[in-house]
Structure 1
Amino acid sequence: MITLNDYLYSGDTVLKILQKYTRDLRKEAKLTHNEIDLMHVNFLIQITELLEHNDFLTAQSQKIREFYKYMAHEYPFLAFTFKGRIKSLIRAEEKFNGYIVEYIYDYYTKHGTYPPVSELKNKLSCFRDFIAYRIVLCMPKCHLKPGEDQETASIRYLYEIANVLPGFLEERGFTVESAYGVKKSTSPLLNEDVKTYYRDYICGTSGEGYQSLHITVYDNSSRSFMEVQLRTQKMDDTAEIGPANHLGYEKKQQDERARRDAIPEGECVYFDEAYERGMRLLQLELADLDVNMFSAVDNSLINDGCGLFRGRLILPYEHLSRFQNDVID
């Protein structure tokens, strides 16, 4: 079985790794008539094309910048950042294999048998976040009203901005996608006419405390999907440096092992291979990797200059409240 790990110690660039992994995986999939591995190959090709032909990202990010300018004009008192990234190769590979493991496990638990290949292939065609933008905002304490809580005020503005975003993007050539009822918002701060578009992880907090609003849109000019995430600073801290980040790694390992115990080994090659690929990635010691433009002291201290682990940045915009340092009488 071929895995991404086999290509991470050669000193190659990320693009070279993708090309070799794709070539060898295609060759093996044809020999074994493995339809899921052929889908895996197409998945890797999509990532390669994003990294090789990214001129459209310049035009796309300029449209996103229009919303940044809108916020700076309408909310000069807020501090906020806009960031964009192409999903990292390791995270994308983890997610693809994780989808296989999760879907087969859930199907087996419910039906006592394995899903048809056609259903599994349909499940694997739903990736929408290769490109993602994140808006993080905060209400500076110096602008709070007496007795007002900072996070409560930030959340109020977060939902207010979320109400405007879908229509703003539609006017600039994007098509907003339905969330199909996944994590549908129950917040009274989100307008009814946009609730169908958002997956609201603020109302239904995860066990690790992860909170965010997610919306998926289709860029008609580049014919690509992208995801926009909206968070307060506190939510972003929890996701990036708080318990949602730290515990997620250990919890994922526990969940994956529990699924392995439930599925008899050798009965479903698609589960076995996806599980093995996923677990090998979870066990990577990043400091041992030899990938051009990437280095790490350990799994916490990482300098990723190629989008291998943390993703490749498309844009950084930062707006600090222009009144943040005003003297308040």
Structure 2
Amino acid sequence: MIALNDYLYSGDTVLRILQKYSSDLEQEAQKSHNEVDLLHCAFLSQIMDMLEHNDFLTAQSQKIREFYMYMAKEYPFLAFTFKGRIKSLIRAEEKFNGYIVEYIYDYYEKYHQFPSMEEIKKRLDCFRDLIAYRVVISLPQCHLKEGQDREKEELRYLYEIANVLPFFMEQRGFRVESAKGVRVSSSDMLKEAVRPYYRDYISNEGEYGYRSLHITFYDDTAKCYMEVQLRTKAMDDNAEIGPANHLGYEKRQENERARRDVIPVGECRCFDEAYERGMRLQKLELAKLDVNMFSAANNSLINDGCGLYRGRLILPYEHLSRFQSDLSS
């Protein structure tokens, strides 16, 4: 079985690693008529296209910047950041294989049989966050009126912004995508017209207290999907450096082992290979990898400027809140 791990010790750039891994995987898939691995190759090609031919990101980020300028005008009292990233290679590989393992396991547990190849391929079609932008807002204490609750006020502004975003982006060549019933919002602050598009992890809190609003767009110019996340600073802190960032490693390991026990080796090749690739990635010793521009003292201290382990940044904008005295004129 061909796995990404085998290509991470050559000293190559991330792009060359992707090219070699994808090429070898495609040759093997064609010999064995493995349709999932062929899909896997197409998925890797998307990442390569973003790294190698990223002119479209300049045009895309300019359109995102227009929403930034809109917010700066409408909410001068808010502090907020806009960030964009291409998902890291290791995280993308983990997620692709994780989707396969999770879907086959859940399907088998429910129906006591394995899903068809068409059903697996349909499940893999939902991977739409290779490009993601994040808007994080904060309401400075000096802008709160007496008796106002900061968290409630930030939440009100966040949903207000969420109500505007879909139509603003549609006017600039983006097509808003349905959330397909995932994490349907129960908040009365979200308008009915936009509710079907959002995955609401605020009114439907995720694991470890994860909270955020997620929405997916299709960029008609670039011919690709992108995700936008909306959060308050407190939500972002929890996701980046708080409990939601520590993914319950021991619990996850326990769940993975349980899935392996339910579906023994040899019962489903597609499951076996995705499971093995995922487990091998979890055991990577990052300090021993030899990849261009990547260095790691250990699995916690990492300097990644090449998009191997951490997403490659493509958009940093920051708006600092004005003081009350500036608004009075």
The verdict on a shared fold, with TM-score over 0.5 as the criterion, is yes
**Aligned residue number for residue 264 of structure 1:** 264
Offset of residue 266 of structure 1: 1.0
Q: Tell me the SS of whatever aligns to 1:308.
A: coil
Q: Show the 5 A alignment for 1:65-214.
A: 65-214=65-214
2:303 maps to what in 1? 303
Deviations 1:41-63 (A, max 9, x none): 11111111111111000000000
> For 1:11-22, what aligned pairs fall within 5 Å after superposition?
11-22=11-22
Q: Which residue of 2 aligns with 1:255?
A: 255
Query: What does 1:42-53 align with in structure 2 at a 5 Å threshold?
Result: 42-53=42-53
DSSP-derived class of the 1:196 partner: helix
| Deviations 1:66-85 (CA, angstroms, capped at 9, x unpaired) | 00000001101000000001
Would the aligned equivalents of 1:78 and 1:139 in 2 still touch at CA under 8 Å?
yes
Cα gap change, 1:35 to 1:75, in 2 (>3 Å): same
User: Residue type of the partner of 1:113?
Assistant: Q
Match of 2:234 in 1: 234
Answering whether residue 225 of structure 2 is matched by residue 225 of structure 1, we say yes
Distance, in Å, in 2 between the alignment partners of 1:190 and 1:253 is 37
2:28 match: 28
Note the residue ranges of structure 2 that are not aligned, 5 or more in a row: none
Q: Assess, with a 3 A threshold, how the Cα gap between structure 1 residues 137 and 250 changes in structure 2: closer, same or farther.
A: farther
In 1, Cα distance between equivalents of 2:262 and 2:204: 28
* CA displacement at 1:253 relative to structure 2: 2.5
- Using the aligned pairs only, state the percent identity: 72
Runs ≥4 in structure 1, deviation > 2 angstroms?
247-255, 324-328
Q: 1:327 to 1:221 in 2, by over 3 A?
A: closer
The aligned amino acid for 1:104 is I
Written as runs of structure 1 = structure 2, the 5 A alignment for 1:55-66 is 55-66=55-66
Aligned to 1:7: 7
Deviations 1:125-180 (CA, angstroms, capped at 9, x unpaired): 22211110000001111111223222221111100000000010011111111111
Q: TM-score, normalised by structure 1?
A: 0.97
Task: Answer whether contact 1:179 1:215 (CA < 8 A) is retained.
Answer: yes
Which residue of structure 2 lines up, in the alignment, with residue 244 of structure 1?
A: 244
How many angstroms does 1:254 deviate by? Answer: 2.6
Is 1:323 equivalent to 2:323 in the alignment? yes
- 2:284 maps to what in 1? 284
Shift of 1:327: 12
Q: Which amino acid aligns with 1:302?
A: I
Aligned equivalents of 1:73 and 1:254: distance in 2?
A: 49
Q: Secondary structure at the match of 1:96?
A: helix
Local SS of the residue matching 2:129? coil
C-alpha separation in 2, matches of 1:288 and 1:320: 40
What's the offset of the Cα at 1:325? 8.8
Give the C-alpha shift of residue 26 in structure 1.
1.0
Q: How many residues align?
A: 328
- Within 2, Cα distance between the matches of 1:325 and 1:301? 43
Amino acid at match of 2:278: G
**For the residues of structure 2 that align with 1:251 and 1:164, how far apart are their CA atoms?**
39
- In structure 1, how many angstroms separate the alpha carbons of the residues matched to 2:22 and 2:9? 16
| SS of aligned partner of 2:179 | coil
Question: Is the 1:253–1:282 contact (alpha carbons within 8 Å) kept by the matching residues of 2?
Answer: no
Query: Mean Cα displacement is larger for which, 9-18 or 117-126?
Result: 117-126
Give, as a single letter, the amino acid of the residue that structure 1 aligns with 2:268.
C
Give CA deviations for 1:90-126 in whole Å, capped at 9, x if unaligned.
Answer: 1110110001001100110011111111111111122
Contact 1:76 1:323 in 2 (8 A): no
SS at match of 1:175: strand
Asked if 2 retains the 8 angstrom alpha-carbon contact of 1:140 and 1:324, the reply is no
Determine helix, strand or coil for the equivalent of 1:281.
helix
**Distance across 1 between alignment mates of 2:42 and 2:170:** 29
What is the distance in 2 between the residues matched to 1:147 and 1:92?
Answer: 45
